[in-house]
Amino acid sequence: MQVDIKSLSIKPLRNTFDQVARFTGTDKTASRYLEATIGVQPEANFHYKPLWAEGREIYDKRNTAIVMGEWDKLLDPRQYYYGSWAIARSRQQDAAERSFAFVEKREMLASTAPELRQKIIDIVLPLRHLEYAANLNNCYMSAYGYGASVTQATMMCAMDRLGIAQYITRIGLLLDGNSAESLRSAKCTWQSDAIWQPLRKLAETMLVTKDWFELLIAQNVVIDGLVYPLVYRSVSDALSAQGGSAFAMLTEFMSEWYDEHIRWSDNLVKVAAAESTENKTRIAGWVATWHEQALTALAPVAIKALGETGPSALEAASALLDARMNKVGL
């Protein structure tokens, strides 16, 4: 008996979902990111009103002063939806785990000079509390924000910040042989040391900021734009030059994460500011206000971390932030 196997080419009736086709303007094959993002934001038929916000819907565009004709325009250039984000973070975590295992096996932190270990305890470990505040802030943006392109990215950012806080915690445990004494000391420093109180006050101010887009500017643009270059570049470089290269290995995730983080946050600012003159003016005002407050709050931390070179390092971080904002049109 002869069996003939034939193949048929079946042309699909459409190449993507209708809401994506309307957004892109053509019925062409869309990326998984677009299909997981465009048109996902609930806009009607809500089950209940938010009793904690009289006169508002459960998802309400009025939760921010920023006005967008199409909120889905605030896309993530990294193309992160849950699947792609989880895969990327899994790979980065594997690399981070190898670094931690390498440092722990060779007791590289234990053999670091005592003054450098104390500097990590005094300057880096308190930042785990700032990262936890960043986690809460991004959760707030996800809860009150509008547009799945924004809120899914802020929720992934919230989880990233929790992970960074945990990495900082693990550095502390490596420093003290898992006794957690360094973490208790860092907590007291965060709560009581005069050097840290301006930054702590700023973190607590962000926690009660109502406009979620202003909070996004404050946390993900301004604070991150100053803290990460200062700590994970300037301080890290200073520690490495003095024999503390293990710290740079353990914080490589933070450096890589920040580089991709600013691609997303800068694009949000660029697109939102280009929407209207009112948006641009408001966002520029928020950036200026929080930038000034953050510089004042970080000044004593920079001096504590880097001595007489601290002000210049903070000024360099500030210049990088200004350059980014100029590039996106502010």
- Tell me what pLDDT residue 55 has: 87
Residue type, 215: L
Per-residue pLDDT at 126: 96
- pLDDT at 168 (0 to 100): 96
Where is 132: in which H helix or E strand? helix 127-144
Alpha helices in 208-309 (DSSP H): 212-216, 224-229, 236-241, 245-250, 252-275, 277-306
Query: Helix (H, G, I), strand (E, B), or coil: what is residue 85?
Result: helix
DSSP 217: I
Contact 167, 174 (CB under 8 A): no
Dihedral (Cα; 42, 44, 47, 50), 10-degree rounding? 80
Look at residue 177 in the predicted model and tell me its pLDDT: 85
Q: What is the pLDDT of residue 290?
A: 98
pLDDT of res. 119:
92
Q: Cα(71)–Cα(268) distance, rounded to whole angstroms? A: 10
- pLDDT score recorded for residue 79: 94
Burial 6-32 (b: 16+ CB within 10 A, else e): eeeeeeeeeebeeebbebeeebeebee
The CATH fold of domain 76-327: Ribonucleotide Reductase, subunit A (1.10.620)
CA distance 144 to 138: 10
- pLDDT, mean of each 10-residue run, the chain (330 residues): 76 81 81 89 87 89 95 94 94 94 87 88 95 97 95 96 96 90 94 96 96 97 97 92 88 95 96 96 97 97 94 96 95
What are the CA-CA distances from residue 104 to residues 116, 169, 172 (Å)? Answer: 17, 14, 12
Q: Is 129 helix (H, G, I), strand (E, B) or coil?
A: helix
